[in-house]
Structure 1
Amino acid sequence: MGAVTSSMAAKFAFFPPNPPSYGVVAEEGTGKLRMTGVAKKDNVDVLKVKTKRGNEIVAMYVKNPVAKLTMLYSHGNAADLGQMYDLFSELSIHLRVNMMGYDYSGYGQSTGKPSEQNTYADIEAVYNCLQESYGLKEEDIILYGQSVGSGPTLDLASRLSRLRAAVLHSPIMSGLRVMYPVKRTYWFDIYKNIDKIPLVQCPVLVIHGTADDVVDCSHGKQLWELCKEKYEPLWVQGGNHCDLELYPEYIKHLKKFIIAIEKSAHLINESMPSTNQTENTRNSVDCQPRESTYQREKSRSSTDQREKPRASIDQREKSVTSIDRREKSRKSMDYAEKANNNAEQPEKARNSIDRFGVIMRSAVLCNIDCFKPVGAKV
């Protein structure tokens, strides 16, 4: 039965670029691996990781010295690491995270053949590598799944009780649901994300284009509705399946999400139960979902607003008691200087996002229509 499912998956879900867009060579003397066909960068590690199904997959780890979190990215079905190289580098800079990307079995320079079960083994092997080779904990990691990549992402996320967060980019409810409007899950379906999303304990951000003609936006919306801990979704108006990175709101919203996740660290540390307790809660029918990250953000903003009047009263009292006019004048000048500095910040942010868009326009993120059955016209 499992073999039949994997066979179906290989027929309509996987389209590795042929030939691969990059190669892997070992440097003379050091033996360190590097990718050919892309710009060499000192902050990028190239790895080969063994999976429990016997395949050797290629991964790349982009280091950011100021990063607190690491994003494990599962790409779409028509791309490989060479095509995603620039995107990973830019995301690492803009989001201030370490980035780990990998090629599924049969993609790029990874060995084996693409299949649903292989992708599950692939992401698990890379996740274990992050823990063993880079010393990361479960709560230091954000899983990111694009299109088909939402399958291995949600499979792993549904089994990790302390995962920091997950991002679903143009996700699918299941493989069969992309092609047919079925209302139930069949045994031969693949990537049954719709059944796994309620098991995910961490905050989930869903990003989907409203004009997606490959995976309808209803997939993203349905998955978001089923999330246990929702974060404010991003429905990109006019966005299609392979161009969401070109919209300014994409990087802005993603960055906002990462910042919110970083700020939630103290909440996680204070309320985190033991592993056994977490599993018991996860299996309990009566478990209550945690307050969503989105709601915590709104609550925190409300608290900040209440604090402002109190600060204002304190300032007025200090002004009444102060008799040094020169001090007041100096403070006024300092305030004006800060206002000028603040006015410069939006301009810097806008220029940074514009640069991101220019780089992404030159990247090849998807080279064919996804989920086309073999033999179908592209």
Structure 2
Amino acid sequence: MNGLSVSELCCLFCCPPCPSRIAAKLAFLPPEPTYALLPDLEAAPAPSVALGASGLRSRGSGGGGGVGGGGEVRWKLHLTERAEFQYTQRELDGIEVFLTRSSRGNKVGCMYIRCAPSARFTVLFSHGNAVDLGQMSSFYIGLGTRINCNIFSYDYSGYGVSTGKPSEKNLYADIDAAWQALRTRYGISPENIILYGQSIGTVPTVDLASRYECAAVVLHSPLTSGMRVAFPDTKKTYCFDAFPNIEKVSKITSPVLIIHGTEDEVIDFSHGLALYERCPKAVEPLWVEGAGHNDIELYSQYLERLRRFIGQDLATQHA
């Protein structure tokens, strides 16, 4: 989340505040797109205009579909150098990309990676801020391979090739569209879906998990609410507060693993603790000693705990 001066924060919250403006000012930093979806000429007639970024370097093909009502269109994923893809053409060719449409009318870019063909679970991953699917693609391949799960992800409105502007309401509509696409397009049932949210991605994750039952939920560096990030001494949830995870987490009926670094400089460690205390279905959390906001994945405990959560905790519950 970007820094604001005290006077700017006061204006945001006291003038009177509008939740969507709070969300936009405090949270959303969509990067310049690092990928594009281009029509797969071998699979379907090409539309006249490609979607996404220019200046393409590496490229791969993927299955995919069009947006409802426009007929089936298959897309290829093209990455720019800024995506810093770390794998070979073979892995890139295995990434499926397509567009779906949210209830608020935005096109939502989606990505499906079959990391483990025999995997029981698929992770619906809501990424953090200032990144898009292109930048996350290498991480997804590595994560899915190491935890033996397939990975499905999407870009928020205004990120990557997704249309519209970032807002709190769009976040909820975006993940709903991704959930429905994962369910209908790939036929994956809720008991085989793990919802994973990182940083700002914990907001749509908690919202969806509070409304639908799934296999499990992972909250990585989560926030309790927008007000509590801006004003750490906030003790209650105001009607105009944005991202009120703290009020929704108690409604989650699936097992919840919370991961947080003790030295998080963006979302204080106290947020993870507060959510853990409010979550009735929380399992043993992972507090990573010395970790900040963006480096938890570099600690060995991270993959160890995820593997144990999926391989042992969930296996016991689903036995």
Q: 2:252 aligns with which of 200, 206, 225?
A: 200
Which residue of the partner structure matches residue 224 of structure 1? 276
Q: Would you say the 8 A contact 1:33–1:47 is kept in 2?
A: yes
Structure 1, residues 15-59: CA drift from partner, whole Å, max 9, x if none? 001x21111111212143122125642332101110000000111
Look up the SS of the partner of 1:218 in the other structure: helix
Residue 61 of structure 1: aligned partner: 112
Superposition map of 1:47-58 within 5 A = 47-58=98-109
CA distance in 2, matches of 1:264, 1:125: 30
Query: Aligned residue for 1:133?
Result: 185
SS in 1 for 2:93: coil
Is the counterpart of residue 25 in structure 1 residue 38 in structure 2?
A: yes
Report whether the alignment pairs 1:90 with 2:142: yes
What is the deviation of 1:266?
4.0
- How many residue pairs are counted as aligned between the two chains? 263
Structure 2's unaligned 5+ residue stretches are: 1-16, 45-73, 80-84
C-alpha contact 2:226 2:241 (8 A) present in aligned 1: yes
- Rounded Cα–Cα distance in structure 2 between residues aligned with 1:114 and 1:55: 11
Q: Quote how far apart the aligned CAs of 1:207 are.
A: 0.5
What corresponds to 1:15 in structure 2?
29
Show the counterpart of 2:168. 116
Match of 2:94 in 1: 43
1:54 maps to amino acid? G
Checking the alignment, whether the CA contact within 8 Å between 1:164 and 1:261 is kept in structure 2 is no
Partner of 1:187: 239
Q: Residue 214 of structure 2 corresponds to which residue in structure 1?
A: 163
Question: How far apart, in 1, do the equivalents of 2:108 and 2:270 lie?
Answer: 33
Q: Deviations over 1:244-281 (max 9, x none)?
A: 111111111111111124413545xxxxxxxxxxxxxx
Q: Show CA shifts across 1:266-324 (max 9, x none).
A: 45xxxxxxxxxxxxxxxxxxxxxxxxxxxxxxxxxxxxxxxxxxxxxxxxxxxxxxxxx
Normalised by the length of structure 2, the TM-score is 0.80
User: 1:250 and 2:292 equivalent?
Assistant: no
Give 1:108 shift. Answer: 0.9
Candidates 68, 75, 79, aligned match of 2:127? 75
Task: Identify which of 260, 264, 267 aligns with 2:312.
Answer: 260
Contact 1:165/1:261, CA 8 A, preserved across alignment:
no
- Structure 1 SS opposite 2:151: strand
3-state SS of paired residue (2:123): strand
Give me the whole-angstrom Cα distance separating, in 1, the residues matched to 2:216 and 2:24.
29
SS at match of 1:99: strand
- Cα RMSD (Å) of the superposition? 1.4
After superposing the two structures, state which structure 1 stretch, 75-84 or 109-118, moved more. 75-84
CA contact (8 A) 2:263 2:269 kept: yes
Q: Contact 1:206/1:224 (CA < 8 Å) preserved in 2?
A: yes
Moved over 4 A (4+): none
Query: Quick one: which of 215, 229, 233 aligns to 2:267?
Result: 215
Deviation digits for residues 58-101 of structure 1, max 9, x if unmatched?
11001120110110000112111111110111111011111011
> How far off its partner does 1:12 sit?
1.5
Residue 145 (structure 1) shift: 0.5
Which residue identity lines up with residue 47 of structure 1 in the other structure? F
Structure 1 pair 265–182 and aligned structure 2 pair: CA distance change class (3 A): closer
Alpha-carbon distance in 2 for matches of 1:24, 1:247: 33
User: More relative contact order in 1 or in 2 (CA 8 Å, sep 6+)?
Assistant: 1
Alpha-carbon contact 2:77-2:95 (below 8 Å) kept: no
One-letter amino acid matched to 1:193: N
Does structure 2 retain, via aligned residues, the 8 Å contact 1:146–1:168? yes
| Larger strand percent | 2
The 3-state SS of whatever aligns with 1:86 is helix
Q: Which structure features the higher share of helix residues?
A: 1
Segments of structure 1 that go 5 or more residues without pairing to the other structure are: 268-378
> Contact 1:208 / 1:220 at 8 angstroms: preserved in 2?
yes
Give the residue type in structure 2 aligned to 1:153. T
